[in-house]
Chain A
């Protein structure tokens, strides 16, 4: 099985180019497409219908989309053992993490009109392939400068110029996918660590106040020690952290977690 992650900012043209890539691959490989988004997407349905391949969507909602993606990857692999290629699309929203995995292929869709490539973090610098989109909107000279700047921050990147409207470049990406290596074991590693997210805000605090942040953090930490941290979803929430937020906000009860440790009585 090959595991391909397409990451890029919203509106960079990820889905458009992925469609052409799927078109190139679907006749010879068993594909699975999964779209990670924050709030809403119909792309899974559209792609499933148009190309007749299985597809799913995963909405991060209250979670950091990249953390959520990484949490879901093992499940996706487990459920799709019969597939040849899994195509995962994510917005990699904070530009800081974007969960490329070492064992798979990471493709960054980079909008050429989006400014200096040096502004981007691992979403660009750790990508195996950089697909530069919308090149037809700018001059040859700027395209060449842009390419040189990408190579400055990611010297090993293979750069493909793509056009989501015409499908230009999709065959090159499909070719790189075919050449990429298979996932051999269940042990997957992130190319880059996620940013740390540990403060009261992560547990849902809204009041901008040092003391409130601290209080919420301590309350969250206390619960964090009681939940199993398996993100099993049995409480009805996507992850233990989301569950903790809801408990602290009063929208859920501790007891909804079937594995919660009872607080030792003093």
Chain B
């Protein structure tokens, strides 16, 4: 129903000291994943906020966000039913005392949508691909583990809060398969912006925006070499998770094998 978003553009604002940001504009096209990196307190979340409210020089940073090269109209900015943006915050848990199935129905209802046959099952199935511990429709939201909650949130954002732009503030990786989560969110040419401290996620993105003292100081395109390094880091993480599983199961860990399978690149560039 919502108009197609082909790209969003960030126009420069000012940093914490009132100095103008040193770039002309940043274009983000559909299908792109952008990582936002920088020290804690550097202003990463502010950038997400600017994008979330499609800032027009009216936030602290004085940045301006364009949609499809145009200044978005007020309706687009403030009417929640037309909101373009879904966000995954840092929170890990649900607070509503209700079953998973009823909760998903309630969410559909609040979006003014009707459930299509099999949709709820798909949402749960997709969540189960992200978490190792299966969720069933009858479970109570409050009883879900951290990993299950997180997985359900991701799947819900991907399938019910359908928005062309998704903002992620620090995806927690406890109990979920991070890569699988991102894959779930990315499909269908969405724009994803992710604030992260995790190098493997940052190097998996198409571009990364580096923030310092409240201002954007650099925009880097991920190089092929970096993608290789990201792959390696992911492998280490997977290896680490494997060991964790064995530790949890009570095994004695005798040695570590460091061997990383070479990256399998399809011939994209």
Residues of A in contact with B (beta carbons under 8 Å apart): 113, 135-142, 144-145, 147-149, 159, 166-168, 171-172
In the complex, which residues of chain A have a beta carbon less than 8 angstroms from the beta carbon of B86? 140
CA distance A114 to B94 in the complex (A): 13
Note all chain B residues with C-beta closer than 8 A to A144: 80, 107, 110-111, 161
Contact of B153 among A113, A139, A145, A159 (CB under 8 A): A139
Q: Is the CB of B58 within 8 A of A141?
A: no
Cβ-closest chain B residue relative to A24: B58
For the complex, is B204 an interface residue (Cβ under 8 Å from A)?
A: no
| B residues whose Cβ falls under 8 Å from a Cβ of A | 45-46, 49, 58-60, 78, 80, 86-91, 94-96, 103-104, 106-107, 109-111, 149, 153, 156-157, 160-161
CA distance A113 to B157 in the complex (A): 20
Is B94 a contact partner of A138 (Cβ separation < 8 A)? Answer: yes
Asked if residues A159 and B49 are in contact (CB atoms below 8 Å), the reply is no
Residue in A136, A147, A148, A166 whose beta carbon sits within 8 Å of that of B91 in the complex:
A136
Complex partner residue of B161 from A140, A166, A172, CB under 8 angstroms: A140
Is B95 in contact with A145, judged by CB distance below 8 angstroms?
Answer: no
A148-B94 contact in complex given A139-B156, A140-B153, A141-B160, C-beta closer than 8 Å: no
Which residue of chain B is the closest to A146 with respect to CB atoms? B110
Q: Which residues of A contact B90 (CB under 8 A)?
A: 136
Contact of B156 among A135, A140, A172 (CB under 8 A): A140
Q: Are A171 and B161 in contact (CB under 8 A)?
A: no
Min C-beta distance of B137 to chain A, whole Å: 15
5 residue pairs A–B, Cβ–Cβ below 8 Å: A138-B94, A141-B107, A141-B156, A166-B46, A171-B59
Asked whether, in the complex, the Cβ of A142 is within 8 Å of the Cβ of B94, the reply is yes
Collect the chain B residues with CB atoms within 8 Å of residue A172's CB: 78
**Min C-beta distance of A179 to chain B, whole Å:** 12
**From residue B190, how far is it (CB to closest CB) to chain A in Å?**
14
CB distance from A161 to the nearest CB of B (A): 9
State the Cβ distance, B147 to closest chain A Cβ, in Å.
14
The answer on a CB contact under 8 Å between B107 and A145 is yes
Residues of the A chain whose Cβ atoms lie less than 8 Å from the Cβ of B78: 172
Q: A139-B94, A159-B80 are in contact. Are A145 and B49 (CB under 8 A)?
A: no
A140 CA to B86 CA in the complex, in Å?
7
Do A145 and B106 have beta carbons less than 8 Å apart?
yes
